Structure 1
Amino acid sequence: MPAVVDHEKRRQQIAGIAADLISRVGLDALTMREIAAAAGYSTTIVTHYFASKRDLLLYTYRASASNAQGRVNTVLARDPCDLKGSIEALLPLDEARLQDWKVYLAFWQIALVDPDFSAEQRAQANNARNILQGVLVARAQAGLVPADQVDTLARRLLVCVVGMAVQAVFDPVDWSGDGQRAFLDAELRSLVGAD
């Protein structure tokens, strides 16, 4: 009797391998053959789950975004007003999050010229801003920030997150986890008076 295969778990496994390879060698060096070899599968098995490299790349990008969303959801389940925790969930404070950011940055190259990837990039950026807006709305309802500043603050915080993450990817010594947290603390005090 053939083994039962969880197809979604297999897709996630292949995407995880692709994310690791993207973070180490970049998109240009990534091939379906290399992914198959890293997974211990034949190329045929990889192409069974992903019809093309493009499909695999889009799935991998979305999986990295889903990782960040899961971290944020965990924070907000504990405290819907936890702005610092929500932002920390988005930042590359450890190896797994750094890998996610390397995947995001690699996809910016494609998003510049591919309308589908560009739309996906905009959707993910809007989602991150919506997360920040939701936390700020909760804080406004608690009297912690002015309600009329929620949209502006969410935009400024998103720019801060992206800027910090890019710096951390390219300068991990100066922008270590501790360095990111210290900078975030100062920015939050400046922008929203939060600790």
Structure 2
Amino acid sequence: MPAIVDHESRRAHVARIAADIIARTGLEALTMRQIAAEAGFSTAIVTHYFANKQELMLHTYRSAALNAQDRVAAALSEAPGDLLACIEALLPCDEPSRQDWKVYLAFWRLAALDPDFAAEQASQAIKARAILRRVLLARAESGLPLPRQDVDQLAQHLLVLLIGTAVLAVFDPATWSREALRDYFIRELGAMGG
């Protein structure tokens, strides 16, 4: 009797290996052959799940974004209005989230040149802003102070701050440690009146 293969699990496994390669050596080093070797599969198995490198990269990027959404959901499970916890869940504060950010950065380079990747990047930015907006509204509904700004503008402002500090943290994790990122956002949120 043939073994039953969980196709979604196999795709996720291949995407994790791709993310590891990208984080370690960059997008240029990512090949179907290298992924197959690191997974212990044949190249035919990898190409069964992903027709080409572009499809694999898109899936890997979406997986990194889903990782961030899962971290946010876990952080907000008990306090949906905890803005600082939401921001920390989106930042590269540990090795798995730093790896996700390295995938994002590699993807952004493609997004600057390819309309399909650009559309995906725009979609993910809208989702991130919506998460921040939802947390701001939950914060207000629970009676916690909300900065004196339009919620949509504030969510956009926070997203820009988050992306900027995340990029700095990827390239200079010694300066932008988890504690430094936390302190920065505590100051920023305090300055906004939140």
TM norm. shorter chain > 0.5: yes
1:80-119 to 2 correspondence within 5 Å?
80-119=80-119
Question: Residue 150 of structure 2: SS of its match in structure 1?
Answer: helix
- Deviation string 1:120-169 (CA, Å, 9 cap, x unpaired) is 10111111100000111122233421575211211111011101100001
Query: Structure 1: any 5+ residue segments left out of the alignment?
Result: none
Contact 2:71 2:89 in 1 (8 A): yes
> What is the identity, as a one-letter code, of the residue corresponding to 1:104?
Y
1:167-182 to 2 correspondence within 5 Å?
167-182=168-183
Question: Residue 134 of structure 2: SS of its match in structure 1?
Answer: helix
Q: Which runs of 4+ in 1 moved over 6 A?
A: none
Contact 2:148 2:192 in 1 (8 A): no
Aligned equivalents of 1:191, 1:72: Cα separation in 2: 22
Match of 1:14 in 2: 14
Question: Residue 28 of structure 2: SS of its match in structure 1?
Answer: coil
> What is the identity, as a one-letter code, of the residue corresponding to 1:140?
A
Alignment of 1:136 with 2:136, yes or no, is yes
Contact 2:17 2:35 in 1 (8 A): yes
**RMSD of equivalent CA atoms:** 1.2
Query: Structure 2: any 5+ residue segments left out of the alignment?
Result: none
- Deviation string 1:30-69 (CA, Å, 9 cap, x unpaired) is 1110111111111001001111111110000000000000
Aligned residues with identical type, % of pairs: 59
| 1:77 CA displacement | 2.2
| Bigger mean CA deviation after superposition, 136-145 or 91-100 | 136-145
> What is the identity, as a one-letter code, of the residue corresponding to 2:58?
L
Aligned equivalents of 2:193, 2:8: Cα separation in 1: 41
TM-score, normalised on structure 2? Answer: 0.96
Aligned equivalents of 1:115, 1:13: Cα separation in 2: 27
Match of 1:189 in 2: 190
TM-score, normalised on structure 1? Answer: 0.95
Aligned equivalents of 1:92, 1:168: Cα separation in 2: 7
- Deviation string 1:102-131 (CA, Å, 9 cap, x unpaired) is 000000110011111101101111111000
How many residue pairs match? The answer is 193
| 1:174 CA displacement | 0.5
> What is the identity, as a one-letter code, of the residue corresponding to 1:64?
A
